[in-house]
Amino acid sequence: MKLGLGLYKHILTDDNFRFAKQAGATHIIAQLVDYIKGDSPTLTKDFLKGWGTTQNQGKLWKYDDLVALRKQVESHGLTLAGIENFDPSHWYDVLLDGPKKKQQIEDVKTMIRDIGRAGIPVMGYYFSLAGVWGWTNGPMGRGAANSIVFNASKIDVQDPVPNGMVWNMTYDTQAAGGNIGSISREEMWGRLKYFLDELMPVAEEAGVKMVAHPDDPPLPVMRDTARLFYTQEEYEKLLTVNPSPNNGFELCMGTVQEMVGSDVYAMLDKYSKAGKIGYIHFRNVVGKVPHYREAFIDEGDVNMVKALRILKSNNYDGVLIPDHTPEMTCAAPWHAGMAFALGYMKGAMQAIESE
């Protein structure tokens, strides 16, 4: 198994590649969507009105830029292991089954071909209308660390998605008022099937694994739209939608742990054996839906060392990234939180590997 760090678009910089290397990471997962901004990113803000606006319609990720990014990462002795998340500008009508769907699926295919050609082996995506939404936050972590909290009783869980928004980002600032309406689970499975059936042959040819993130938070319906991967059983159905060897999981341990009735160890065991995990969000949490808080890696409900032992026993050779952590009280709260998580992971991995 490999230690990685996920970096947002704004922090794909030489300094942060050095930071990753210094903390013992060997791999980078890059996010290209402009949604969590700033040199010192924070996830503990009010994002109930969205992550922001994206206006990249028709401006696809370019092959030359992807190669340049890979080379920049490699210049620090690191490997670019994957890209996480499509830009809503590029695929909103694929998610929404809108009039530009055919063009946008062709655009996504073009980007997958270019990602493969650029030597990037994994693309993580999140097939969701409401997206990551509903978080609140507060000094709820150990030592009053600012943490992400989900408490269904504190928000209007079915507050509808306004027109012009999907995946918790606004892609059309001129959209007419109103909202996208109620979307059923059957409809969402159909949209996912279309997406996978169109893309998997291209991903196979391009040598790119397409891996799906589970629903965060894992509730069956949010903002009046059905969510697909809100229990472990439902998440596992991903593999039945399309049998491609390139169809797999961006396995977020935190989100799986937040699901009612889940067994994150069983999921790790089964799918690391089956070679179906593209990479892992190795994070911890206290509680489950409808009420949980994100936790420091060592203080949550998941025994992370047990999880690593399972991965080791199955010879999992993929990447683990911390994904989120509570923020630490200092001048660089995100970086300190990540350094703490990476240090824990490095130590635990070394200990287990020498057993």
Ligand X SMILES: O=C(O)[C@@H](O)[C@@H](O)[C@H](O)[C@H](O)CO
Among residues 54, 85, 231, 284, the one that binds ligand X under rule CB under 6 A: 85
Nearer to ligand X among residue 32 and residue 203 (C-beta): 32
223 binds ligand X (CB under 6 A): no
276 binds ligand X (CB under 6 A): no
Q: How close are the terminal C-alpha atoms of the chain, in Å?
A: 15
d(CA 325, CA 217): 16
Among residues 107, 215, 294, 323, the one that binds ligand X under rule CB under 6 A: 323
User: Which of 16, 42, 40, 10 lies closest to 28 in space, CA to CA?
Assistant: 16
229 binds ligand X (CB under 6 A): no
Helix (H, G, I), strand (E, B) or coil at 161: coil
230 binds ligand X (CB under 6 A): no
Among residues 324, 334, 335, 339, the one that binds ligand X under rule CB under 6 A: 324
Nearer to ligand X among residue 7 and residue 202 (C-beta): 7
d(CA 267, CA 251): 9
Give the x/- contact pattern for ligand X in 135-174, rule: CB under 6 A. Answer: ----------------------------------------
Q: Between residue 8 and residue 37, which ones bind ligand X under the rule CB under 6 A?
A: 36
Among residues 122, 132, 148, 277, the one that binds ligand X under rule CB under 6 A: 132
Q: How far is CA 77 from CA 2, 26, 87, 350, in A?
A: 14, 8, 28, 20
User: Which of 136, 127, 155 lies closest to 43 in space, CA to CA?
Assistant: 136
Helix (H, G, I), strand (E, B) or coil at 83: strand
Q: Between residue 182 and residue 221, which ones bind ligand X under the rule CB under 6 A?
A: 213, 216
Torsions phi, psi for 257 (to 5 deg): -65, -35
d(CA 220, CA 39): 34
Nearer to ligand X among residue 105 and residue 252 (C-beta): 252
**Which chain residues interact with ligand X by CB under 6 A?**
6, 36, 43, 84-85, 126, 132, 213, 216, 281, 323-324
